[in-house]
Structure 1
Amino acid sequence: MLLDDQLCFALYAASRAVTARYRPLLDELQLTYPQYLVMLVLWEQDSISVRDLGAALQLESSTLSPLLKRLEAGGLLRRERRPEDERSVALTLTEAGARLRERAATVPLAIGDAMGLTPEQDATAKQLLRLLTANVSER
């Protein structure tokens, strides 16, 4: 079996290339790629539980905790226990976190340009990757 014939290698190489393309854009925002993903979710839904965030990002809370602590220390979000359920932690954007969205608005455009896909190719790629993820996750 040749390396170039392996779908897993094509996925790995594409993921590394895309993440590397994000790096300089996110450096300007003082965010890592995983932190950026957290912020994307919070920009969509300002108040969310850690559990729901983990589900959205397909990450365990043990992986999220250090990310959330750094984002909180950077003044971008607040973590607060919910009064109705002390076990649940709510995440909310701070003013600075909300303002960062404006500065981050150019990131998806720059990445889209770098990928060089037509809208149809973009939609097909997402559809196939979601199907692959669902299929592999089921087994």
Structure 2
Amino acid sequence: MGEVPDTADPLALERQVCFALSVASRSVVAVYRPLLEPMGLTHPQYLVMLALWQHAPLSVKDLSGLLQLDPGTLSPLLKRLETTGYVRRQRDPGDERALAVTLTDAGAGLRARAEKVPAAVVERLGMDLDELQRLHESLTRVIAAVRSAPPAG
């Protein structure tokens, strides 16, 4: 306890990208929580709503692709948002096999309240906007690198 971290050790916890990403992710989501709760949204539901505010209507398949979520993970989020009255799921008239997701009036109206969230997050983080933009660009490159990496094993 209280020892100086061994930065020469390739397995030192504080050197691991996965550890930094994991802690940062949990911490940032925690910043969102008190901003989203008054709207009745969890962070994953907020991501669904962001995609729908930008692109609705969307098929479940397209929404799954945009959010990079498995349809099995997305389905309970959509059911909950439908129960809350923010979205409606219905068969796509052009393809009866596809399920289309649309915003209800309440879901569309929620956007005005949500527009305050990004600025509040920036304020709570206390970080410079340029620094956050660079972080976003770096993380986007990490995502692309992971996608193009050969499978492990």
Instruction: Give unmatched runs, 5+ long, in structure 2.
Output: 1-10
Normalized against structure 1, the TM-score is what? 0.95
* 2:91 and 2:99 in contact (8 A); partners too: yes
Give the CA RMSD over aligned residues.
1.0
Which of 28, 35, 45 is the aligned partner of 1:25?
35
* Correspondence 1:1-80 to 2 at 5 A: 1-80=11-90
Please name the residue that 2:134 is paired with.
Answer: 124
Please name the residue that 2:7 is paired with.
Answer: none
Larger radius of gyration: 2
- Residue 46 of structure 1 deviates from its aligned partner by 2.3
Partner AA of 2:87 in structure 1:
L
Q: How many residues align?
A: 139
| Poorly superposed stretches of 4+, deviation over 4 Å | none
1:105 maps to 2:103: no
Please name the residue that 1:90 is paired with.
Answer: 100
Local SS of the residue matching 1:117 = coil
**Identity within the alignment, %:** 50
* 2:122 and 2:129 in contact (8 A); partners too: no
Normalized against structure 2, the TM-score is what? 0.87
> Counterparts of 2:33 and 2:124 in 1: how far apart (Å)?
13
Partner AA of 1:44 in structure 2:
Q
Give CA deviations for 1:73-101 in whole Å, capped at 9, x if unaligned. Answer: 11101111112211111111000001111
Instruction: Give unmatched runs, 5+ long, in structure 1.
Output: none
Q: Relative to total residues, which structure has the larger helix share, 1 or 2?
A: 1
Partner AA of 1:28 in structure 2:
P
> Counterparts of 2:19 and 2:126 in 1: how far apart (Å)?
20
> Counterparts of 1:83 and 1:96 in 2: how far apart (Å)?
23
* 2:47 and 2:67 in contact (8 A); partners too: yes
> Counterparts of 1:106 and 1:136 in 2: how far apart (Å)?
32
